[in-house]
A = this chain, B = another copy of it.
């Protein structure tokens, strides 16, 4: 069996990487590229790298037409645009993997406060599943609508989960210092994303105020069984791809050793194909173009304080977006979870 896959919004960076990964997938075929553009391009005009490899003509976003040719559809759209299409596509019988933020926050009111827009599809929000396979694999397998996690929240959740689930760290006072390559900001031209502005630059933005902060907290709250609030401070790297998070936590029990922390990671991820527990410190270069999230943990004593430092690296376009979406597709259709991703 081959999974027939469609993409709505294939002309952005997540669309590009969905195509790239589907081209190499042994059990999936790309059948439909749906674009809302007035002039529908051939995708190889948008991404010249696809010449001779994927010269598919984009077609209108016609839910029935998509359903006639596909089993699953990826929404590679901005938030708001995604929930305009999800209901129709679900009704047409498709499974939907949404890469936008529209179905990630279970609480619609919180969504509305964070994204400053009304949630137009609370009905489907109720059964949407948060698509982080390492934490919610079972729910994903049976879902019809998967909310693919944000890039920053993926690394944060994978980096904190082993410690929080075992109560090795406190649920309060978590600080997530993150840095991302610029593809995370999308493909629409913006002044601050021009090469000459970003070259030689590095700075923090949205300090304590980023939209991914509530998404991170939702997952951590699920894991801890109590309300978790974090301080999330993202930075913009002069790099196209990659996220590194340096996470500062407090020990729950001062007697815990670094070895115990490390073992918690190994236990959590020993059987996980896409999370690598490293002895050395993760580097975004070592996960570039892969679906891996590399993690490690250190315990540092300074005076009376014992600081837990977790480091987590991923490719924001792969494990942080399109690769994870393919991983979710594999789960939805009972394929080997690693198919097309190793």
Contact = CB atoms under 8 A, between A and B. Distances in A.
A302 B205 contact: no
A246 interface: yes
A276 interface: yes
A189 B189 contact: yes
Contacts of A202: 179, 237, 239, 242, 244, 283-285
Contacts of A204: 244, 246, 281, 311
Contacts of A290: 49
B203 A183 contact: no
Contact of A282 (B190, B203, B238, B244): B203
Contacts of A225: none
B281 A205 contact: yes
A203 B284 contact: yes
Interface of A: 13, 48-49, 51-53, 172-173, 175, 177, 179, 181-183, 187, 189-191, 193-205, 207-209, 227, 229-231, 233, 235, 237-242, 244, 246, 248, 276, 278, 280-290, 292, 294, 298, 300, 302-305, 307, 309, 311, 313, 342
Given A231-B307, A235-B244, 11 more contacts: A53-B342, A175-B307, A177-B246, A189-B191, A196-B240, A200-B288, A202-B283, A203-B281, A207-B311, A208-B309, A235-B246
